[in-house]
Amino acid sequence: MSLPEWAVGIRSALDNKMGLELIEVGPRRTRGRVPIEGNTQPFGLWHGGASCVVAETLASLSAYAEVGPQGRAFGVDINATHHRPGTSGWVHGEATALHIGGRLGSWEVVLTDDTGERICTARVTCALVRPRS
């Protein structure tokens, strides 16, 4: 596990509801996983909205890792393509930086099932509010 000190135990009410587990947090890459059970649509399949929540959470944590504890970061755009349904087990997410600039950063987030099959690909753009010197 590779979590910076500030990320150890960081939780939101939505993270708790979804059962998000962080594995690694950094500006260039952030990884986590979420159980499919409890995060499905009425027909028992992984919910596409859950994919968007996980994608934005992982990208936003990467953005926060970039600006540091005195900065702020938040999502301003998300695009998600749902490739296949998830039915059981876990959804694994990895946010990888595509570009980190002065005020904006973009991350590709790939969500896979336990077998490594891609469930969703998302692109998330975050505002980067760096601390004043």
Q: pLDDT (tens digit, 0 to 9) for every residue of the chain, 133 residues total?
A: 578 888 787 888 999 999 999 999 999 999 999 999 999 999 999 999 999 999 999 999 999 999 998 999 999 999 999 999 999 999 999 999 999 999 999 999 999 999 999 999 999 999 999 998 7
- Please count the structural domains in the chain: 1
**pTM score, whole prediction:** 0.94
Catalytic positions: 56
Q: Is 57 left (phi over 0), alpha (psi -120 to 50) or beta?
A: alpha
Domain that holds residue 58: 5-129
The H helix count followed by the E strand count for the chain is: 2, 6
Instruction: Provide the CATH number for the domain around residue 101.
Output: 3.10.129.10
- Per-residue pLDDT reduced to its tens digit, 34-65: 999 999 999 999 999 999 999 999 999 999 99
Residue 60 is predicted with a pLDDT of: 97
Give the count of beta carbons closer than 10 Å to the beta carbon of residue 34. 24
Give the count of beta carbons closer than 10 Å to the beta carbon of residue 103. 9
d(CA 90, CA 84): 14
54 and 20 Cβ atoms separated by less than 8 Å: yes
Residue 3 is predicted with a pLDDT of: 82
